Amino acid sequence: MTPLIAQYISEGIEQRQQPHINLKACYSLALKNISRDISSHYLFLYLKSEISLGHILYKIYGYYLAYFWMNDNATRDAIGVKEETVGEWKRCILDDFPYTKDLPSSIIYHSNLTTRGYRALVYSGDHDLMVPFLGTQAWIRSLNFPIEDEWRAWHLDGQAAGFTITYANNLTFATVKGAGHTAPEYRPKESFAMAQRWLDNKPL
């Protein structure tokens, strides 16, 4: 969920307005454009013979099935989407976004939310070529929050699963080792462990 949307929802809650979605039950459901997937990460791995063509087709089929899953009433009920507030869900097609407004930076929204006491977990796949983790790390540093827990590896099953650092104002940044732009897609086990620990208020 983008920080701009989270802030609008937060302000609405503070004004005692009922949000259209349940923030506590809403997980990030971001999917990438299929053509970009194939032309970048998957094609690169395929040409290096690290994955099969079948793996690429499996991923595309998953994107196809996501349409039906996200438009299913049971799914919408589970994440708290109110009836008739959201139309048909479609996967992101980057060339078709009907943008009428640009948001040059979301840093101010992150600052507003974290200084209000909202906990934030910002994470990046360390193989993300669309939004490299070094850029994310740089804008987080620009907030000038004091460091509470230094940069260190976090582990799963005895193996390093990424790196993490914790800042004041309840801001945690983490990387997921070997993950691309949508980390849970590439490293579901590690991403789930990271999110579960964070939601349980435990260190990564």
Distance separating alpha carbons of residues 136 and 163, to the nearest angstrom = 13
Where residue 33 falls (left for φ over 0; alpha for ψ -120 to 50; beta otherwise) is beta
Do the bridges between strand 120-125 and strand 171-176 make them parallel or antiparallel, or are there none, so unpaired?
A: parallel
Q: Among residues 99, 120, 100, 98, which one has the least CA distance to residue 109? A: 120
Strand partners, 165: 173
Distance separating alpha carbons of residues 173 and 69, to the nearest angstrom = 30
Q: How much is the pLDDT for 83? A: 82
Q: How much is the pLDDT for 117? A: 85
Q: Which two tokens stand for residue 58?
A: 């499996």
- Global pTM value: 0.63
Domain chopping of the chain, boundaries = 3-94, 117-199
CATH, range 117-199: 3.40.50.11320
pLDDT in tens, the chain (204 residues): 456 556 666 666 666 655 544 444 433 333 333 344 444 454 455 455 555 555 555 566 677 778 888 888 888 888 888 887 878 887 765 555 566 666 678 888 888 888 888 899 999 999 988 888 999 999 999 999 999 999 999 999 999 999 999 999 999 999 999 998 889 888 999 999 999 999 999 999
Q: How much is the pLDDT for 27? A: 30
